[in-house]
Chains A and B, each alone.
Chain A
Amino acid sequence: MVPLMNRRQVMLSLGAGGMVTALTGCSGWQTGRSRPRVVVVGGGCAGATAAKYLRMWSDGTIEVTLIEPNHHYVSSPLSNRVIDGELGLADLTRSYEPLARRHGVRIIVDRVVSFDPIAKRLRLSQGDELRYDKLVLAPGIDPQFEAIDGLAAAHADGRILAAWAAGPDTAGLHAQLRAMPDGGVFAITVPEAPYRCPPAPYERASLVAAYLKRYKPRSKVLVLDANQDVVAMGSLFKKAWQDRYGNLLEYRNHHQAVGVDAGTLTVRFEVQEDVRADVLNVLPPVRAGRLARDAGLANINSRWCEVDFACFESKLAKDVYIIGDAIQAAPKMPKSGHLANGHAKVAVAAIIASLRQRPLDPHPMLTNTCYSLVSPFAGMHSAAVYGYVAAHRTFESVADAGGVSAEPNEAEVTEALAWAKNLWTDMLG
């Protein structure tokens, strides 16, 4: 039993603890251990950033473990440029190793099979058990292949690819485009928003159109959109399509894909007529990654995880922080890699404050910049700034800030590459 202290002794010992804090900078953890343990699950833009910044901002005094099933990070940002053959997958691949070597993150290449938020324990597929003081979940998104009849099988055998997260399918879609005869049809279906990276399907359609215009000019790109209009940078995309591709690219709204036939490469819609293509790129709806759903944390339409935006803690599980595309985003906040990186930093600051039993930052800020190409030689951006508004318990975009490019331009092609390079380094380097 702990010997009872009188009030003065207790206060003196707290005061002495504060002195230690003042002298050593970053300790004074309130977990009853000298080095709190934080486990981060998922090594994408959100999770990798969280792992790195937890180490940086605690001066290495938090033990950080990153669980990620892949040996390397493959960037989905810029991956549309693999589809038109401008880049290879190797250009998008980065090692996790600097997180360990430079920042002291312990990396475990494995999957989490279950976790217990009461016991604060999680189990990995190879049987290891980990305990944590705080858990960061960055599970990303899972495609809902089953939402479109026949797609799961067609995708599994490689006939109809989504290529939404960068990987072998991205190169596979490039191969299908190369093999397509001149005069063929490349059709891409766009799911209902919200989905990951709103401008990406339109950028992909633009880059495919540029490729076909150059190499197979009798061909056609069909954009079959479940939404009533282009979801991001709409007027810029539509003007660019008109100016650059004319009849080579056709946009059709209100096209909700409900089924595919892999044999004839035909896609069926809820209302509109079937479309047959030579390359069929079907983007299914997406939802929070399996781990968050299995844990019952995806409470919004069984798709997205609700968080307290002051700190990104789950509304359902204490000491579990959910960041990145898996969350129910704040209004006007897209699911983007840039924002996932920002969520991570706000969550890390909140985790450190909580471990020190200190108040949260009352006004965290987030920025977002999405670059999109309309051809290999013309890019454009959409930018926004968000501030946390305590009275509304959410992030709101700052009035007067944000906007889009005046028109696509060459400089922003280079800027997009520079942005990606710095983002990769900010999360991994």
Chain B
Amino acid sequence: MIDRAHAPNHWLKPHGRRAWLLITCLTLASVADAQADANLELQSLAASCAACHGTNGHSKAQASIPSLAHLPAAYFIARMQAFREDDNLATSVMAQIAKGYDDHQLRQLAEYYASQPRTRY
């Protein structure tokens, strides 16, 4: 027998279900908003490479400036580490740029560019 005095029966009432729907919607909405914020920030971070390396890493002059799109993330990070650490490269553009990003940012950039399609159109 159900003890109506103690059961959490408000969950079962119509307005109670609406409350759950509300909570679910708000949670999904805030997750979606936070995801959209993160995507935009990542696009913006990655776009700081694009003036030289082309939009989304598609270079139009690959003999001098490589495309970043579709590079394996591990290769990207290894190259950036070499630019940061190899004294023989210290006066190259990329050594001087790579030192401007922290490890977390370099990982974000590596993953972003690895996920870009190899060709643009």
Contacts and interface: CB of A to CB of B under 8 A. Distances in A.
Given A11-B26, A15-B26, A398 B61 contact: no
Interface string A396-427: 00101111111000010011011101110110
Contacts, number: 166
Interface in B14-33: 18-19, 21-22, 24-26, 28-33
Contacts of B77: none
B63 interface: yes
A385 B28 contact: no
A356 B33 contact: yes
B35 to A, nearest CB: 8
Interface residues of A, number: 62
A417 B64 contact: yes
B60 interface: yes
Contacts of A53: 47
Contacts of B48: 342, 345, 365-367
B61 A18 contact: no
Interface residues of B, number: 46
Contact of B33 (A18, A367, A405, A425): A18
A245 to B, nearest CB: 23
A381 B47 contact: no
Contacts of A369: 51-52, 93, 97
B82 interface: no
A371 B101 CA distance: 21
Interface stretch (A19-27, A127-135, A197-205, A293-301): A19-27
Given A14-B29, A15-B26, A422 B91 contact: no
Interface string A256-295: 0000000000000000000000000000000000000000
A353 interface: yes
Contacts of B63: 414, 418
B41 interface: yes
Nearest to B25: A15
Interface of A is mostly: helix
Given A15-B26, A417-B61, A422 B53 contact: yes
Given A338-B52, A383-B96, A385-B97, 6 more contacts: A8-B22, A21-B36, A57-B43, A349-B40, A361-B40, A422-B61
Interface of B: 18-19, 21-22, 24-26, 28-33, 36-37, 40-41, 43-45, 47-55, 59-61, 63-65, 90-91, 93, 95-101, 105
Interface of A: 8, 11-12, 14-19, 21-22, 25-26, 28, 52-53, 56-57, 338, 341-342, 345-346, 348-349, 352-353, 356, 358-359, 361, 364-367, 369, 381, 383-387, 398, 400-406, 411, 414-415, 417-419, 421-423, 425-426, 429
